[in-house]
Structure formats: C-alpha cells, structure tokens
Structure 1
Amino acid sequence: MSRTDADVVFLGGSVVTIDDARPQAEALAVRDGRIAAVGDAADVRALVGPGTEVVDLAGGCLLPGFVEAHGHPVSLGFGTDGPIRDIRPTTVRTAEGVMAAIREAVATADPEHGAYLFGWDGLLQKGLVEPTRAWLDTLSPDRPLAVITNSAHAVYANSAALRASGITRDTPDPVGAHFVRDADGEPTGKGLEGGALAAIVGSALARRPPGPDTLRTNLAELNGVGVTTVGELAFHASRRPMIDALRAEGGLTARLRLYEASDPTLSTAVPLLNGDDMVRQVGIKTWADGSPWNGNIATSFPYLDTHATRVVLGLPCSHHGETNYDREAYRAIAEAYFAEGWQLACHAQGDVTTDMVLDVWEELLAQHPDMTDRRLRLEHCGAMTREQYDRAARLGVTCSLFMAHVRYWGEVLVDDLFGPRGEEWVAARSALGAGVRISLHNDGTVTPPDPLGNVRTAVTRRTESGRVLATHETITVEQALRAQTLDAAWQLHADDVIGSLTPGKYADLVVLSADPRDTAPEAIGDIAVRATYLEGAPV
C-alpha cells in the first residue's frame, strides 16, 4: 500500500463534521489513525488503494465520536460491582423489586460484613418511603445494612452498620459532608455526601475493589452508544492501576480525561502536565452541594410540601437545603488548586450554590489575570438562571448540563419538588443565548450513557412519559450535536485532537443509521449506532 493511500474510507452517506470550515461532506479518509481527508466522494475515493478498507455508510451518517464530558467509568464499578448490589432505577424499576433485592441481600449477607445496596430512588421507584434507621433495623436487626441513593449523594444505614463503622454522636462530620442527627444529637443513620458515604460503606468497598474487567465493561457500554472519549469526574489515584492494567492489555477503547476528587489536604501528587492523548488528568472536582433527589441543594426557593418531599425524602415543610461548604471553606479549596494551574470542575445544582461558586471564581480570576483559558466548569446546573448564565459567560465559565434530569425526573421536578421552577430545569437555551459553551452528559452511575437520547431531550424537552417542559428552553439539533462532540471535547481540553471531523485529528468516529438533522426530533433517540471507531479501528 502506498502511504498516499488511505487505510479506511467512508462513503455512501452524510458526513457531519462539526467543523465550521466545512460542516458537511460526502466522504472521509483515515490514515495511521488520523483523519487524512474530508470532502467530496470523488476526491476521497482517489485515496482508495489495494489495501484500503471501504466502509459503505449505506445512507447513514458519520459523526465525530461522542464525548461524555461528565461520567464515571472508573468509579462506576464501586457501586455496581463487587460487594454492593445494584438496585438503580434502570436496573430495578419497581419498589417491589427493590424490596426483594434488599431481603435477598440481607439473607445472603456475611453476618460480619452485612448487606450494601446502591441505587435507591423513591421518586422513580414509586411506593418506597424514606429508608430510616428504624425501618432498616426491622429488615436487618443484627447485620449491617446500608442503602446508597441513586445520586450517590446520600446513604442510609441501620444501627448495626453505624456500629460497624464506629459512628456515634461524638463522630465529627467529614469535610464537605455530614451525618444527619436527631434533636438529641444522635446519628439518624442518614449521611450526606462523599465523606459520609466513605465512612459507612468504605470497608465494604475495600473488600473487593473493581478491577480492569469492570472498566472494560463500562467502556464497552459507552462504545455501544458511540462514545469515544469520557471524563471521569470522581477520580482517585488508587484507581490508576486499574487503568494502567487495562491499557497494558490493549483494552482501553475510549479516551479518559480524569478529574481528581478534591481532598481535604488540598494537594495532588499528579503533575499538571501528565499523560497523553489517551489518558490524562486535566482537573480537580469539587461538590458544592448535593442532589435535588436528596434535599441537599441550596436554593432560593423552597421545596413543595408534597407526599414526595415529606414521606419519600423526609424533608420538613418549606425546605431549602444548603451548600456543602460555607463560602470561605469553598474558597480555600478552590484557591489551592486554582493557584497550581488546575482546571476546576464544581458540582452545583441550586441557584444559591451557583452564586457562591461564581463569587469565588470571579475573585480568583481577578487575582490571577495571567491565568487565561482555564475553562472553569459548572456541573449539572439544574436550577441555574439566565442571569447566572450571563455572569458565567462574562467570566469564561463553561457548563456541563445533566439533560437526563428532564427526561427521567421532569414530572417529579414540577409536580413533586419545585412547581414552576422545575419547568426550566437545565436551561440549555438560556445557556447558549448567554454565550456559554455547553456539553450534555449522563453522569455515569445515575443514568445510562445515551448521547442521542440527550440530543432528543435537549431538542424536545420531552420526558419519558411524553410530557413537554419549557419549550422556550429547547435548542437545535446542530447545537445539541455540538454539545455532545466538539464543545464537550473543548471542556476536556481535548478539542485540539478530537471533537470534529477535521484533517489531522484522531479518527474517533461514530456511524449512525440516520442523520439526526433529518430525523423527526422525537425519534432521534431511536437512531441506531452501527459502529464506533477509535483511531480508525472499530471498538
């Protein structure tokens, strides 16, 4: 084969480049894992040689590989593999199924270590109520029993699990987390945020941490829906051997961009310049508040007084929630990493939380005017307002939007939790209208990876049941595709090598059965992923 020949050529369909220089093409050629040419069919066909593989798109569509800017492929296994049983709503849909799984877990649990389950969501698994310590004691009087919510922002433990964890009224709250206590100061069994979860279920996780096969499976699921690059937004250095082992086997089938979970010591041993185009740590992740499904997001408006808030979530009337840190504590964390040059990614759901984070970031940017192109990231942005998006745009802040909140919890947001404020949850058009670059994501453990489903939801704002919320916050198909490709890559500091079908970039590609731009909006999520390629090789 002449080195002027292509290794692979794609013909016979639409080529959507997400490249403003040439948005549409007829064909694409790959050589040595990179995009060699994009253009008219006749011009690209000239690169076909004796050894060139010619892929017929058969009327389908070629796009850049999708980018999941906010995922958890490395940490996902800790909640779905090993000693913790998976009861997420996408795995166990009914309350009856959840109860059966809990009873089985208790009956088969090791008497010393107990039973641990992940994925409880009484808002979707209708019929469940708040799993209080007293109620869990009736299910498992002697053995430890703990359930982690689907958001992973709360855990509920029985008395035996608290004893096994050594948690008493005198146990101090972890940094950025806390144990809920009753009027007498005794722990109720409910813990909020990562530090509390680690204290209660950490020993269970340590017994059998997930290995390379778990990561292989998670990446295969991502490849199956067209994802070729994924951000890991809760990375810990202890998980690096898992990545290295799979890479040594040749089993990494998607690029990884790692965000280390912020540590109370405010330090990281990883150099700012590290890794390569396949695996690189690019930022630090903090959690300024929690989940709307657990009542721990800080909002200027109250939760409604409904059966869902009172009985399912156990919240008091007119509950508002709070941030995980006060302003000064969050500033200390952000400043420590910002001063070292790290990109900051901060989980912020409530509008009060968003104000606090933007206040701190504005101060840091003013103090370090030489630190440009930091691409500071706000994550999820559920209750973020148009005014806050305007402010974010002025500061150069980018937002990764959890569009699946609208798809799966749309009715819950409006009818059960927030009323009219829930209508405009994840306001994508407001973000783009303000000039904010956005990505769309599924958050790994919380909802299954589904880029085309995200595009459909962003374009229609249609829930699973068919209800449509706030049509004035819909965006175009082209904008949604860009948010799943080039702009998501830009958030990950990877747009120089992926995200668009531009000559010289890696040939990370997805072949679809139809062009989303020519598909009825409500049917975009039904488009089939025919193939996914990493550097021109099918994965």
Structure 2
Amino acid sequence: MLMRKTQYAAIGRRSFLRLLAYLSASAAPGALFADSGTLQQMGSTLVSTPEVTIFKAKRILTMAGDSAKAEAVAVVGARILAIGKLDDLIKAAGTQSYRIDSQFEDDVMIAGLIDQHVHPVLAALTLTVEIIAIEDWVLPGGTAKAALDPESYLQRLTDAVAAAPGDAPFVTWGYHHYWHGQVRRPELDAISATRPIIIWHRSAHEFILNTAALETLGITPEFISTFSDAAKEQSSFEAGHFYEQGGFAVMPKLAAVLATKDRLVAGLNLTREYLHSAGVTLACEPGGIVSKPLQDAQNVILGAADNPFRMYYMPDGKTMAQLHIDGDMIGETKAVLDWGSGRTAYLPGQVKLFADGAIYSQLMQVTEPYTDGHKGEWIMEPELFDRAFDAYWDAGYHIHIHQNGDGGLDLVLDALERSMRRNPRANHRTTIVHFGFAREDQVQRIQALGAIVSANPYYVTALSDRYAEIGLGPDRANRLVPVGDAAKRGISISFHSDMPMAPGQPLFLVWAAVNRTTSSGRVAGPDQRLSVEQALRAVTIDAAYSIEMETDVGSIEPGKLANFTILDADPFEVAPEAIKDIKVLATVSEGVAFPVLPPALKKASLDTSFRIAGIPPLGELLAAKGIAERGLRQGCSCCQPAQTSSCQPGALTASSAGCCSTNALGWSVAALWSTRLSQAT
C-alpha cells in the first residue's frame, strides 16, 4: 500500500528533506512505499507493488511555496509519491521496482498549467470559420491575419465571400465595430444579396445578418415578437443586429449553420490540439450552452482516454434561472452533473451566473457614463440575478459570476453582502469572473466579503489603447483588470483565457499580467502589474483553488495528480517580455507523457486523410501511443475493449482497467511516431 491519506495530510507542504526524515523514522527499510513492515513481510497480503517512475528535470517549479531545488519527481500510477534529489529518491525506493524517465532531464518542469475558464464549443465554432479579427490568430492549420481598419475589414470580407465555393451560408468571426466601423444589414446586402452572410462579433455575444440570412433562417418580426422584453430591446430586425440577450434568442436559429457536425468535430479537435500545445493539463468551462447533444459531442473528443488534459464543466445558472426560477432550479442544476464521460466531468456544487454585458462589445455596465454616450446592458436582469444568486447561495453553491464593468460588480457585491448578512458562510469562494473594470473601493469590498477573482489579463493587451480613445477614456482604460490592487489585498487571483476571448495559452496570460503591454507597445497601468511568481500561481495552484481542486492539482506535491508541463526555459530566468515565447515541449497528465508536436506534424495530425506508406494518421498513432504507455505501466499484456476479457490484438481501445496493448501495433507505435517526428523536424 502507498502512504495513507492521513500521512499525506500530516506531511502537508513540508520539503522533501522533511519527508525523508519523516519516512526514515519507520522501523522497516522500503517504508517509503508501505504502511508498515518490509515488502517481503507484506507478501501475503499484496500480490505486487506498482513500479515507480522517476521523472528527471533540469529545474522543477513545484508552485508549492517551496524554494528547494528539486531535480526529480517520483510517480506511482497517476499520483506523485515524492520529490527531491534523484539519488535520494532511488535510495528511498528500497526494494520496490522503479524506472528513471530522462526525457525531460534538460528541460524545465512546472506544475501542470490550468485554464480556469475556456469554451471548447465556442472556440471550435469560431476558429473554424473565416477569421477577420482585431489580432492575428495563430492556429495549427495556419495564421489568420488581423484587419485593423474599416477599409481592410470590408475588403477582406468581400473577397472571402466571393471566394467561398457554392452558395452555403458564409460565416465569419472577429468583427469589432471600434476597429472595423459599423457594419449592419445594408452593408452586408451590398456584398451579396443572395448568399446568406453571418457576422459573429469578436465578443461572441452579437450577430449581424444580411437579408438572405434572415430569410434562410426564418428570423422574422413575428419570431422576434416571441422574445422577452430585454431580448427585444437588444434586437434590430432592420439592422440585422442581435446582441446580448437578443443574440442568445436567435442562437437556436443560427445553430443549424454555426454548429454543423463537420465543423464541430473539426473544431473540437483543433481546440484540443491548441490547448495541449499551450501546456494545458486541466481546463474548465463555466456556464456553457446547456445541451446534452453538444456535451455528448465534447465527450467523444475531450472525454477520450487519450485526451492529454481533463475537461471540467459547471452548469449555466443563467439558463437554469430563466427556465426554472419558479420551479426546482436546484434540482434541474444537479440533473446535468452526470453528463460528462471519461475525461470530461461536471463539478458538483458550482454554478455560473452572469451580470453585465461583454467587454468586447463595450456593453458592460459602468457607473461613470461612456464618453460616446452609449449605455451598457445586462445579460441577466438584476431582479432575476438576485433571485438566482440567493437560491444558489442558500443551497451551498460556489457561485462564479461573469462581470465586466463596475456597475455590474456593484450588483454582484450587493448580492454577496446581502447573502452574507442573512446567511453567513465560510470559505464560499464566490468568484468574480473576468474582472474587467473595478474601482479601488470595490477591490477592498471583495476582500472584506471573502470573494476571489478570476481575471482575463488579455483585455489590457487587446483593448486598452482603443478603449482609451472610445468609450472609457484613458483613466479607466489603463485600469482594466486591476489585479495589482487585488494582489496587494491578498485576494486569490486566477487567470483564464475565456477562449476564444483570448488565446488559450496560460503563459501568454502570465506575460500579459506581468507586462501589461498593449497592442501599441505601451504599458497600461504599470501599478497593476504582477510579479512572475504571482502570475504563475494564477495558472497553477490559485487556478486550482478557484475551482476547488487544489488538493488534487495545481502544484507538485506528494499525493497530488502527476500533472506537469514541460518548458524549454524557466519563466523566472527569462526577461519578462520573453515569457510568452517560452516553448511548451510536452505535458504529463496523471503520469502519462504527451509530447507537443512541431508545427509540421500539428497540421498533419489534423488532416484525417494523412497517410504515408500505409501508416495511420498521426492522431491515431498518438492515441495508440498514449494507450500503450498506460497499458505497459499497469502490466497489461493485450489490448481489449472495456468489459471484455478476451484479447483482441490490433484494437486501439482501453481495457476496463484503463490500459492496453503489447500487440504488434502497440509495440510499433513509438517507433513510427519517432520516425515521423524526425522527418518533420
């Protein structure tokens, strides 16, 4: 038996030297891996002890508050056994078998990176259409260059529509009115009166359609008359413009075009590859679309045994409130908890609510008027928000709330204070999501009420320059995402990409928070910058804390899951402006290594027709490689489908024990993969 959980708890965050001292007090040799007695004495009760894998690295960043210079991590199965000097780990292993994995010995290992808030379906659907955005998007299949002015945008859009084959609806994502000018139904009709055109705003909260699209999809004045009052106000049939609640209301009509099976499957595979390439070992989607078929599609790809990261979800409390506020809202929320499968799962006791509008649309609620006279919007009307917040609070939920403007934050903090006064709760971790703009007095209030922050520091890079000119003015634009103030007050801070609202790259988010460099190259709000240590915590241990998973992930400590990200450079040693350029070489997910492919192979792996000399596509090879690794670690001698006892050589499925394969294909996968890797490089 491995050490009991009580022993792990007793060790806590002690350094490895203290761990060895603790273990050496045991009377028997080999006690690192036993509760009592020698392995020989335990032979009557244990058939065998599992093999220990000892990963070596040039530098190990544990993110556990321990500055000790560890050089190796001992792993049993999916969990970490110990960290420290290689010789000490070998000595402590005693008679238990071990192997040394040296593939990362020249690299830097950090606790597995976490994207606390990402939208796989939204990323899948936006990143597989024509991208004409306010920034470059570098994807496995190529780079979509930015368009930064109205003339460039309209020319790109016109050319793309003309070049599109056939007459199917044309969809593009990335438009932003502050860069690209006002584009509405008349402008799109001028581009094409016959082909349906759908513009998906950079915020993903707005749609603009031409007449052909409105007619094809059946979006009529009669259909709009069925919307709620708020959705009607946020819709314009004449302009073909639907935003916030209006955008959500037309989504069922748009889904048939936006979420085709082929696009969804290709996009989910792209998203999976993208996040793995960024070093993500765990991701979470709070408040995605409540749809069992969409969840089933994600389970197939992101829930697969060979997916290099686990994907967690939270129920969308907004939808639950809209449908069930006067019924069994809590029961309906719990009903989706079993929708996950394999490496996807829902987090119990956590839920997502929404306050004000999208920051990319500049529809957040602000207390000081916008400089151009427009106004913000609500995603959940305050009355509905308050009722839902109170109900989830009383049911003991950890509530995550989308907030962007200080007006929206006032609504959130008022609800939290009201609930604390009438029904106090400890360690509630109410999470302010996005943290787009907040006043200093609100940061003080966040601290006093015991809330935490999950911020998107990319807002500063993407938006501060233009928002200083339009809408917010320089002072508020420089104060976007004021994580410096939050850090000074000791508030727990995590980062998220909200992909596709920012690139799903944790190290890029670290760079954004450490430097606060805008698109023009200036520094916006230098007093709001974080240290490298603070920013790295925000994508490791503090990100884990924000979703109540800090006892399992977020740092390299005994008993936690063996999730690591392998880098080619140390973020503490490179210049701050170079952090975003650090390369991710591999990830380790629960003890299994997943190399990150070079660009040539990334592109090939997304091509399902990629076959050379009868060798399967690289995606299949990597799947087999991951399965084979897990199987060999657990002593499997054949490959078999789950719940099947007989061997079926040649299968690429995991057994009911979660492992498989020493058949010819399983043994040859590594060689084939290595050959293809060397060819590409």
The residue number in structure 2 matching 1:78 is 125
User: How many angstroms apart in 2 are the aligned matches of 1:207 and 1:373?
Assistant: 42
1:405 aligns to 2:459 (yes or no): yes
After superposition, the Cα gap between the structure-2 partners of 1:420 and 1:248, relative to the gap in structure 1 and judged at 3 Å, is closer
User: How many angstroms apart in 2 are the aligned matches of 1:200 and 1:237?
Assistant: 15
The residue number in structure 1 matching 2:345 is 280
**Which SS does the other structure have where 1:458 is aligned?**
helix
**Amino acid corresponding to residue 239 of structure 2 in structure 1:** T
**Amino acid corresponding to residue 62 of structure 1 in structure 2:** M
Deviates more, 1:213-222 or 1:511-520: 213-222
Measured after TM superposition, the shift of residue 401 of structure 1 is 0.7
**Amino acid corresponding to residue 280 of structure 2 in structure 1:** V
The residue number in structure 2 matching 1:166 is 219
Contact 1:8 1:536 in 2 (8 A): no
Contact 2:465 2:519 in 1 (8 A): no
**Which SS does the other structure have where 2:367 is aligned?**
coil
**Amino acid corresponding to residue 100 of structure 1 in structure 2:** R
Contact 1:400 1:439 in 2 (8 A): yes
1:135 aligns to 2:181 (yes or no): no
User: How many angstroms apart in 1 are the aligned matches of 2:521 and 2:90?
Assistant: 44
Contact 1:176 1:195 in 2 (8 A): no
**Amino acid corresponding to residue 479 of structure 2 in structure 1:** E
**Which SS does the other structure have where 1:7 is aligned?**
strand
Structure 2 residue aligned with 1:490, among 509, 522, 545? 545
**Which SS does the other structure have where 1:28 is aligned?**
strand
After superposition, the Cα gap between the structure-2 partners of 1:148 and 1:480, relative to the gap in structure 1 and judged at 3 Å, is same
Structure 2 residue aligned with 1:338, among 388, 393, 402? 393
- Percent of matched pairs sharing the same residue: 26
How do 1:437-452 residues align onto structure 2 when only pairs under 5 Å count? Answer: 437-452=492-507
**Which SS does the other structure have where 2:560 is aligned?**
coil
Contact 1:65 1:226 in 2 (8 A): yes
**Which SS does the other structure have where 2:402 is aligned?**
strand
**Which SS does the other structure have where 1:510 is aligned?**
strand
Q: TM-score, normalised to structure 2's length?
A: 0.70
**Amino acid corresponding to residue 219 of structure 1 in structure 2:** R
Structure 1 residue aligned with 2:412, among 335, 351, 357? 357
**Which SS does the other structure have where 1:116 is aligned?**
strand
Contact 2:302 2:310 in 1 (8 A): no
Deviates more, 1:441-450 or 1:61-70: 441-450
Measured after TM superposition, the shift of residue 366 of structure 1 is 3.1
How do 1:438-517 residues align onto structure 2 when only pairs under 5 Å count? Answer: 438-517=493-572
Contact 1:168 1:187 in 2 (8 A): no
User: How many angstroms apart in 2 are the aligned matches of 1:349 and 1:102?
Assistant: 33
User: How many angstroms apart in 1 are the aligned matches of 2:227 and 2:103?
Assistant: 59
Contact 1:181 1:187 in 2 (8 A): no
Measured after TM superposition, the shift of residue 481 of structure 1 is 0.6
Measured after TM superposition, the shift of residue 226 of structure 1 is 1.0
Show CA shifts across 1:73-105 (max 9, x none).
243223334xx5443442241263664345533
Deviates more, 1:199-208 or 1:216-225: 199-208
Show CA shifts across 1:339-389 (max 9, x none).
4443322111110111011111222333333x5433222111111122112
**Which SS does the other structure have where 2:374 is aligned?**
coil
Q: TM-score, normalised to structure 1's length?
A: 0.87
1:227 aligns to 2:265 (yes or no): no
1:8 aligns to 2:66 (yes or no): no
The residue number in structure 1 matching 2:650 is none
Measured after TM superposition, the shift of residue 416 of structure 1 is 3.4
Structure 1 residue aligned with 2:160, among 94, 101, 104? 104
Question: Unpaired segments of 5 or more residues in structure 2?
Answer: 1-38, 40-47, 138-143, 595-681
The residue number in structure 2 matching 1:30 is 75
The residue number in structure 2 matching 1:423 is 478
**Amino acid corresponding to residue 385 of structure 1 in structure 2:** R
How do 1:256-295 residues align onto structure 2 when only pairs under 5 Å count? Answer: 256-261=311-316, 262-263=318-319, 264-266=322-324, 267=329, 268-271=332-335, 278-282=343-347, 283-295=350-362
**Which SS does the other structure have where 2:361 is aligned?**
coil
**Amino acid corresponding to residue 153 of structure 1 in structure 2:** H
Deviates more, 1:479-488 or 1:85-94: 85-94
User: How many angstroms apart in 2 are the aligned matches of 1:98 and 1:259?
Assistant: 38
**Amino acid corresponding to residue 68 of structure 1 in structure 2:** D
**Which SS does the other structure have where 2:523 is aligned?**
coil
Contact 1:298 1:353 in 2 (8 A): yes
How do 1:316-335 residues align onto structure 2 when only pairs under 5 Å count? Answer: 317-335=372-390
Measured after TM superposition, the shift of residue 504 of structure 1 is 0.8
Measured after TM superposition, the shift of residue 265 of structure 1 is 0.7
User: How many angstroms apart in 1 are the aligned matches of 2:566 and 2:530?
Assistant: 23
**Amino acid corresponding to residue 60 of structure 1 in structure 2:** D
Contact 1:404 1:441 in 2 (8 A): no
**Amino acid corresponding to residue 483 of structure 1 in structure 2:** A
Contact 1:148 1:156 in 2 (8 A): yes
**Which SS does the other structure have where 1:71 is aligned?**
coil
**Which SS does the other structure have where 1:25 is aligned?**
coil
Contact 2:112 2:282 in 1 (8 A): yes
User: How many angstroms apart in 1 are the aligned matches of 2:360 and 2:304?
Assistant: 39
User: How many angstroms apart in 2 are the aligned matches of 1:259 and 1:240?
Assistant: 12
The residue number in structure 2 matching 1:145 is 197
**Which SS does the other structure have where 2:297 is aligned?**
helix
**Which SS does the other structure have where 1:229 is aligned?**
strand
User: How many angstroms apart in 2 are the aligned matches of 1:74 and 1:346?
Assistant: 20
Contact 1:35 1:503 in 2 (8 A): yes
**Amino acid corresponding to residue 364 of structure 2 in structure 1:** I
Measured after TM superposition, the shift of residue 199 of structure 1 is 5.1
The residue number in structure 1 matching 2:655 is none
After superposition, the Cα gap between the structure-2 partners of 1:464 and 1:393, relative to the gap in structure 1 and judged at 3 Å, is same
**Which SS does the other structure have where 1:410 is aligned?**
helix
Measured after TM superposition, the shift of residue 505 of structure 1 is 0.6
1:376 aligns to 2:430 (yes or no): yes
Q: Which of the pair is proportionally richer in helix?
A: 2
User: How many angstroms apart in 1 are the aligned matches of 2:302 and 2:578?
Assistant: 37
Contact 2:315 2:333 in 1 (8 A): no
Structure 2 residue aligned with 1:192, among 230, 237, 243? 243
Question: Unpaired segments of 5 or more residues in structure 1?
Answer: 305-316
After superposition, the Cα gap between the structure-2 partners of 1:379 and 1:248, relative to the gap in structure 1 and judged at 3 Å, is closer
Deviates more, 1:474-483 or 1:391-400: 391-400
Deviates more, 1:18-27 or 1:292-301: 18-27
User: How many angstroms apart in 2 are the aligned matches of 1:277 and 1:427?
Assistant: 38
The residue number in structure 2 matching 1:310 is none
User: How many angstroms apart in 2 are the aligned matches of 1:67 and 1:147?
Assistant: 31
Contact 2:313 2:345 in 1 (8 A): yes
Measured after TM superposition, the shift of residue 509 of structure 1 is 0.2
Contact 1:345 1:378 in 2 (8 A): yes
After superposition, the Cα gap between the structure-2 partners of 1:498 and 1:393, relative to the gap in structure 1 and judged at 3 Å, is same
Measured after TM superposition, the shift of residue 47 of structure 1 is 6.2
1:385 aligns to 2:439 (yes or no): yes
Structure 1 residue aligned with 2:491, among 429, 436, 441? 436
**Amino acid corresponding to residue 374 of structure 1 in structure 2:** H
Contact 1:398 1:437 in 2 (8 A): yes
In our comparison, the structure showing a higher alpha carbon Rg is: 2
User: How many angstroms apart in 2 are the aligned matches of 1:106 and 1:36?
Assistant: 59
User: How many angstroms apart in 2 are the aligned matches of 1:522 and 1:161?
Assistant: 44
After superposition, the Cα gap between the structure-2 partners of 1:355 and 1:97, relative to the gap in structure 1 and judged at 3 Å, is closer
Higher RCO, 1 or 2 (CA under 8 Å, sep at least 6)? 1
The residue number in structure 1 matching 2:9 is none
Contact 1:179 1:191 in 2 (8 A): no
**Amino acid corresponding to residue 484 of structure 1 in structure 2:** V
User: How many angstroms apart in 1 are the aligned matches of 2:303 and 2:567?
Assistant: 30
User: How many angstroms apart in 1 are the aligned matches of 2:337 and 2:376?
Assistant: 38
